[in-house]
Each structure stands twice: as C-alpha cells, then as structure tokens.
C-alpha cells in the first residue's frame, strides 16, 4: 500500500531512540522528510548518522514552550511547511510525590500542547495535515504505571479527541495510538528485564501473544494513521497491544 507520504514534512519529538526513533525511520522509508528533537545532543548525532533520508535533529527541552516553538518554526522553514506532527516525548514518571506529578504533567501533557500550538498555524496551511498523539494502554486501564503516567496518558486520549472535533473542518486529522508493552534493550522493559527479572517474567506472561511489541510495530501503525491513506480516520484511539487489554471497545 502506498501511504502517500513521499515528500511530506514530518516533525517527531523524542525521535532519537525507542518508539520515536522507529517512527522517524518509518516515515523516512516512505519518502517523507523529518525533523526530530530530543534532549541529548549525543543521541541526536548518533541517530542522525544512522538515518537514511532527509532528516534534521535538534536539542529541545519539550517542557520549554519557547524552545518548542523555535524548533517547530525552524523545521517549517527547512522543510517548507509542516504536514504531520507526532508528539512522542514522555517523562515515564511513576510515584505519588508532587514533584513527580509536576514533571510528568509538564512533559507528557503540556509538552504535547506546546507542540500542537506551535505547529497549528503550519498545519492549517497543509493539504494533508495530521497529528498522532502517543498515549498508552496505561491510559485505558489501571496498571502498575497508573500514576502519574497512566493518568496523563488518559488525558492525552481526551485531548486528541477534543482536537479532532475542533479542527476537522480545517482539514486537520487528529488520532492517538496506545501501545502496550514495547520492548527495546535501552527502554523501560529492557531495564526491568535486567534489574527485576521476576517482574519482567510476570509482565511478559500477561501478553496473550507471548511477547512484547517492537518499536517498529508501533511506528508502522503510527505512520499509517498519520498518512493520507487514512484520510477518513480522525478522533480514534488505536490500541497496539497484542491483546494485552481486556476491555471491550464499542
């Protein structure tokens, strides 16, 4: 299937590793041009050297709205506009302390809002405008990552639906993906496997397909939802969980 992404201008936050990196690679494989950001300069350079395609990397603190706006504006200038944005950064925070909640709120939620606000004027000028928010199954069901991570991921699903209704007549589609357990060696599950093998084995066993997802599997679904091939899909939340969640969707 041709996703009709060739030449499209795509912005991805948190694009140097894990799911974000796989998302960048998925768009590049389809012929899109990608600007990505991350917190770590060394990580950006390493990823940039591995990417095959037209990419631009920049260090950005997603909790700093001014930095986000500067990155989006610079990206639009380099790419000739903005067609698609993927707000991907998460603090992956857990714990009940107020400082932890504040960090997660500023990163997961306000970071996404800042990204959307900065990109909106450019998206309104695109003929293929699309936004895909990265939520989680933790936003649908109470699990070991419930607070503040799951709470804020649930808020992103609501935010995505709100945006989809608000901007539908402007031709801007907004969807959300909710991955289940996604394994990569330097990610959360890689760390749990090394440091808490019994917990890892228990969580792995909870996956009906007998394994966790790969970043590429999440990236492929994200690229499809963002693409013109999904031109009549907006306001949806797509589970990519291998059957991990058990609630019935109506």
Domain segments of the chain: what residues?
9-182+215-240
> Which CATH number applies to 9-182+215-240: 3.40.50.720, 3.90.1150.10, 3.60.15.10, 3.30.70.260?
3.40.50.720
Choose, from 13, 153, 161, 164, the residue flagged as catalytic. 153
Looking from the CA of 25 toward its CB, the CA atoms found within 13 Å total 17
pLDDT, position 6:
98
| DSSP helix/strand/coil, 8 | coil
pLDDT, position 153:
97
Choose, from 135, 164, 178, 227, the residue flagged as catalytic. 135
Contact between 222 and 30 under an 8 Å Cβ cutoff? The reply is no
Choose, from 9, 114, 130, 149, the residue flagged as catalytic. 149
231 is catalytic: no
pLDDT, position 247:
86
For 25, residues 6+ apart whose C-beta sits below 8 A from its C-beta are 51, 216, 219
Whole-model pTM: value is 0.96
Tokens 């912005």, located at residue = 11
Distance CA 23, CA 45 (A): 17
Note the pLDDT tens digit of each residue in 140-192: 988 888 899 999 999 999 999 999 999 999 999 999 999 999 999 988 999 99
124 is catalytic: no
pLDDT, position 72:
98
Choose, from 126, 130, 136, 227, the residue flagged as catalytic. 136
Residue ranges for the chain with pLDDT beneath 70: none
159 is catalytic: no
Reported in sequence order, the residue ranges of 64-184 that DSSP labels E, i.e. its strands, are 84-86, 130-134, 173-179
149 is catalytic: yes
Distance CA 88, CA 185 (A): 19
């Amino acid at each position: 299937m041709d996703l009709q992404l060739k030449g499209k201008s795509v912005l991805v936050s948190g694009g140097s590793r894990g799911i974000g990196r796989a998302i960048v690679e998925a768009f590049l494989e389809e012929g899109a041009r990608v600007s990505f950001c991350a917190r770590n300069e060394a990580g950006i350079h390493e990823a940039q050297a591995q990417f095959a395609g037209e990419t631009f990397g920049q260090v950005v603190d997603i909790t700093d709205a001014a930095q986000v706006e500067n990155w989006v504006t610079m990206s639009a200038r380099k790419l000739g506009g903005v067609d698609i944005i993927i707000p991907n950064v998460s603090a992956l925070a857990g714990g009940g302390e107020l400082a932890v909640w504040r960090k997660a709120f500023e990163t997961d939620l306000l970071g996404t809002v800042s990204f959307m606000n900065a990109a909106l004027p450019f998206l309104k000028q695109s003929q293929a405008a699309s936004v895909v928010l990265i939520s989680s199954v933790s936003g649908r069901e109470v699990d070991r990552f419930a607070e503040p991570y799951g709470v804020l991921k649930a808020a992103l699903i609501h935010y995505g639906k709100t945006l989809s209704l608000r901007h539908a007549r402007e031709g801007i589609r907004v969807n959300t993906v909710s991955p289940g357990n996604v394994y990569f060696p330097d990610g959360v599950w890689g760390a749990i496997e090394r440091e808490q093998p019994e917990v890892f084995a228990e969580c792995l066993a909870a996956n009906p397909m007998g394994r966790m997802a790969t970043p590429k599997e999440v990236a492929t679904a994200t690229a499809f939802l963002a693409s013109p091939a999904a031109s009549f899909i907006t306001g949806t939340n797509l589970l990519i969980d291998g059957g991990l969640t058990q609630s019935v969707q109506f």
